[in-house]
A and B are shown apart, each in its own frame.
Chain A
């Protein structure tokens, strides 16, 4: 049943694709940089007292007028761009991974249950999924964000901004997980080993998670990788539109929104550096997702 490649085959495939290796390196560096931001970043961009407007609008250190304290320059508030990007990426990744976990748990849970229970429940879940597919992800996210803004008192909004974003993005990504999990549950339900487990009186939850779920892990990992890139992009889009994170706790999208003001003014680093980082991160994750798909899907080889 398993369609995985052997380890050596996978390594062989990897060795033939320098692009994938490069992508893995980029993603690894970006993720490590984001994860270790508090240790390696020159300053803390969330600590308002740690930077000063006096240093505002400095170009990167290697250009004329640059300052060695600010390798990639500063923004209009005097915030070090290196630190802002690393912390921004950290926030983007936290939200991306959180949204992914939200989508995976919701989607896999619903998919397994729908496939197992069948009947009306299955029909209901799948119709909801169809409706969800018809809605663009950005619209779902805006809707959730809008409802949360409406329901919450103005003082409470800031504390729940990240959970709201996670839920908003997660809700727009669960369908792929649910469909994949349901399809494999439907297929596996009639397999002998599952029938045997049923006959032995094993608890359905145990059958679902121990017998069926492992079979579908491969495709789910591929979906998760690609969706991580989507989640990061979606967060960036929401923050760019100004419904995401505020300017004093900037994610990559917020940094790009701030940088937009300097699109025509000559201070290119404020816009282009976070944008380049975001693009590199998302492309790298997508390339890895494609590679994983190749490994897990023998037909693509």
Chain B
């Protein structure tokens, strides 16, 4: 500090250094939390808190992904997404009837010490296939489940089902004794029960503390049957809704890993020493859905008017009006991939024959709207999340702006995902944003969930909020499920893809990029389904 400086400047500098000092002090005080003293404490964050700890209550990736650390299925996916034995050591088709026999692993215990038996699998099936379950459509093909003995269980299906073991990788097994003793024998989807905040699985981690929306602590399960590859002694999960806040938390050392990071900040993280970005494409297609099952519009200035989306020409006009390339370039920073179907290219059953997206053509969109009797457009309600998918709100605002340019006025309602599914289930939309990642990595999955006519009895179409319905698709779905010949199966999947495209049942926008960031000293596996498995984490 020189003498010639005016006093005020010195004061200012003094003030700044005082602030710097206190900052440094507070940093120093908080450092031991992240420092080498507790090297195996692993902290991570995502944008969406798993809304329940019940593996059968909500079929959404944040829940399933998180609970795969605590509960386990009969089979599981390895780092390359291939199916491998988990609670079942082997499985084979039944003889004399359709279905699969699973041989269960010996010596597995739940976190509370009780033994894992075939009866727990039967119970979990009854629970997951019950009316109250959100995952019951996984068991649409199942007609009967039989316990043969303590270590053997049969799943009988109504027809040959070659993909059945793959389709239940996320069917997580719960302990019968524990669930029944705690009055949680059935999942509570919108309300709560004991299993909403407590767990008793067989997985590598057990729930140590749960503060919904704030923090969830996991501790390794000493009695886990598999050999632990991880070296985590405590894992702390925090939901951070604002991605910029999350990134700041990573860069300041508060957390070890975050998923996702904002696309606009990738360069920022890559440029820093001690951090790395993990990039890939998720298997999730972001799409727009329509309300197909109502006669009138519900929102916007034209609420009560006849529903224009019943006309496929209007739906096609919507698709043509949306410039996905520009959404990718500006909002997704060139990291997304335009989509033409309900699943990304490259997955099994993807229809190469229908690979081309509809494209972007404003003039054609206007012409189609005029032809459909809406030369002056109309007004409707568009529902969107703001914390579920990458830049979801910005994408919806861009979609609204693009639709406005062809004369349709989308009134945007944006909400956090915790209220979103309820609103969609209550049909409170005219059009909505949806992201879908096929849990089985096969084209049959989105068809079963999104394209089949919702049916309580056969448990299909459970995420088909708009009630899209096509008799040919409904006819083909069971045939696809049973077909053993790959070429014949693909022909049927091609036909369905063509129908969905021709009718514009949904408007597929793009494949969501997968961008995680972590400290350089963390080893982890980025699985294309965006599931984050603690069992592969090593803190070095």
Residues of A within 8 A of B492 (CB): none
**B281 on the A face (CB < 8 A):** no
**A39 on the B face (CB < 8 A):** no
Cβ proximity bits A246-259 to B, threshold 8 Å, 1 near / 0 not: 11100000000000
Interface of A is mostly: loop
- Across the interface, do A57 and B330 meet the contact criterion of CB distance under 8 Å? yes
- Across the interface, do A49 and B268 meet the contact criterion of CB distance under 8 Å? no
- Across the interface, do A265 and B264 meet the contact criterion of CB distance under 8 Å? yes
Interface size on A, residues (CB 8 A): 26
Residues of B within 8 A of A262 (CB): 264
**Once bound together, how far apart are the Cα atoms of A54 and B409, in whole Å?**
19
- Across the interface, do A53 and B404 meet the contact criterion of CB distance under 8 Å? no
CB distance from A257 to the nearest CB of B (A): 10
**A51 on the B face (CB < 8 A):** yes
Partner of B401, one of A53, A57, A267: A53
**B454 on the A face (CB < 8 A):** no
**A24 on the B face (CB < 8 A):** no
**A155 on the B face (CB < 8 A):** yes
Interface of B is mostly: helix
Residues of A within 8 A of B402 (CB): 53
Given contacts A52-B405, A56-B330, A154-B428, contact A261 B400 (CB under 8 A): no
B:313-331 near A, CB below 8 Å: 323, 326-327, 330-331
CB distance from B146 to the nearest CB of A (A): 47
B:300-324 near A, CB below 8 Å: 303, 323
The residue on A at minimum CB distance from B423 is A154
Residues of A within 8 A of B242 (CB): 260
**B337 on the A face (CB < 8 A):** no
Of B180-188, B198-206, B391-399, the one touching chain A: B391-399
**Once bound together, how far apart are the Cα atoms of A264 and B247, in whole Å?**
9
- Across the interface, do A247 and B393 meet the contact criterion of CB distance under 8 Å? yes
- Across the interface, do B401 and A52 meet the contact criterion of CB distance under 8 Å? yes
Partner of A76, one of B244, B330, B400: B330
- Across the interface, do A53 and B326 meet the contact criterion of CB distance under 8 Å? yes
**A77 on the B face (CB < 8 A):** yes
CB distance from B104 to the nearest CB of A (A): 48
Residues of B within 8 A of A51 (CB): 401
Residues of A within 8 A of B327 (CB): 53
CB distance from B134 to the nearest CB of A (A): 23
- Across the interface, do B244 and A77 meet the contact criterion of CB distance under 8 Å? no
**B97 on the A face (CB < 8 A):** no
Partner of B330, one of A49, A78, A260, A263: A78
- Across the interface, do B323 and A77 meet the contact criterion of CB distance under 8 Å? no
Of B2-10, B411-419, B477-485, the one touching chain A: B411-419
Residues of A within 8 A of B394 (CB): 76-77
- Across the interface, do A48 and B404 meet the contact criterion of CB distance under 8 Å? yes
Residues of B within 8 A of A78 (CB): 330, 401
**Once bound together, how far apart are the Cα atoms of A153 and B34, in whole Å?**
46
- Across the interface, do B330 and A261 meet the contact criterion of CB distance under 8 Å? no
Residues of A within 8 A of B409 (CB): 48
**A130 on the B face (CB < 8 A):** no
The residue on A at minimum CB distance from B268 is A264
Partner of B331, one of A49, A56, A155: A56
Residues of B within 8 A of A53 (CB): 323, 326-327, 330-331, 398, 401-402
Residues of A within 8 A of B267 (CB): 265-266
Partner of B404, one of A49, A158, A246, A247: A49
**Once bound together, how far apart are the Cα atoms of A47 and B397, in whole Å?**
12
- Across the interface, do B244 and A155 meet the contact criterion of CB distance under 8 Å? no
- Across the interface, do A267 and B326 meet the contact criterion of CB distance under 8 Å? no
**B243 on the A face (CB < 8 A):** yes
Partner of A77, one of B262, B398, B405, B411: B398
- Across the interface, do A247 and B397 meet the contact criterion of CB distance under 8 Å? yes
**Once bound together, how far apart are the Cα atoms of A263 and B299, in whole Å?**
35
**Once bound together, how far apart are the Cα atoms of A203 and B397, in whole Å?**
57
CB distance from A65 to the nearest CB of B (A): 13
CB distance from B378 to the nearest CB of A (A): 14
The residue on A at minimum CB distance from B401 is A48
Residues of B within 8 A of A264 (CB): 244, 247-248, 264-265, 268
**Once bound together, how far apart are the Cα atoms of A20 and B343, in whole Å?**
63
Residues of B within 8 A of A57 (CB): 330
Given contacts A53-B398, A261-B262, contact A76 B404 (CB under 8 A): no
Residues of B within 8 A of A267 (CB): 264
- Across the interface, do A248 and B397 meet the contact criterion of CB distance under 8 Å? yes
Cβ proximity bits B219-254 to A, threshold 8 Å, 1 near / 0 not: 000000000000000000000001110011000000
The residue on B at minimum CB distance from A263 is B244
**Once bound together, how far apart are the Cα atoms of A77 and B331, in whole Å?**
8
Given contacts A49-B404, A56-B330, contact A77 B397 (CB under 8 A): yes
Given contacts A53-B330, A56-B330, A76-B330, contact A246 B323 (CB under 8 A): no
CB distance from A102 to the nearest CB of B (A): 27
**Once bound together, how far apart are the Cα atoms of A54 and B303, in whole Å?**
31
Residues of A within 8 A of B403 (CB): 48
A:218-265 near B, CB below 8 Å: 246-248, 260-265
The residue on B at minimum CB distance from A258 is B394
- Across the interface, do B303 and A261 meet the contact criterion of CB distance under 8 Å? no
CB distance from A244 to the nearest CB of B (A): 13
Residues of A within 8 A of B411 (CB): 158
Residues of A within 8 A of B326 (CB): 53-54, 56
**Once bound together, how far apart are the Cα atoms of A158 and B301, in whole Å?**
12
Residues of B within 8 A of A76 (CB): 330-331, 394
- Across the interface, do A260 and B244 meet the contact criterion of CB distance under 8 Å? yes
Residues of B within 8 A of A246 (CB): 412, 414
**Once bound together, how far apart are the Cα atoms of A56 and B330, in whole Å?**
6
**Once bound together, how far apart are the Cα atoms of A51 and B414, in whole Å?**
20
**Once bound together, how far apart are the Cα atoms of A150 and B397, in whole Å?**
25
B:327-345 near A, CB below 8 Å: 327, 330-331
Residues of A within 8 A of B412 (CB): 246-248
Q: Can you report 10 residue pairs joining A to B where beta carbons are below 8 Å apart?
A: A49-B404, A49-B405, A49-B407, A54-B330, A56-B330, A78-B330, A154-B413, A155-B299, A261-B264, A265-B262
Q: Return the 8 tightest CB-CB contacts between A and B, nearest first.
A: A48-B404, A265-B264, A56-B330, A49-B404, A48-B401, A53-B398, A49-B405, A53-B326
Interface residues of A (CB under 8 A from B): 47-49, 51-54, 56-57, 76-78, 154-155, 158, 246-248, 260-267
Interface residues of B (CB under 8 A from A): 242-244, 247-248, 262, 264-265, 267-268, 299, 303, 323, 326-327, 330-331, 393-394, 397-398, 400-405, 407, 409-414, 428
| Additional pairs, 18, CB under 8 Å, beyond known A48-B400, A263-B244, A265-B268 | A49-B401, A49-B404, A53-B330, A53-B331, A53-B398, A53-B401, A77-B398, A77-B401, A154-B413, A154-B428, A155-B299, A158-B411, A248-B412, A260-B242, A260-B244, A265-B262, A265-B265, A265-B267
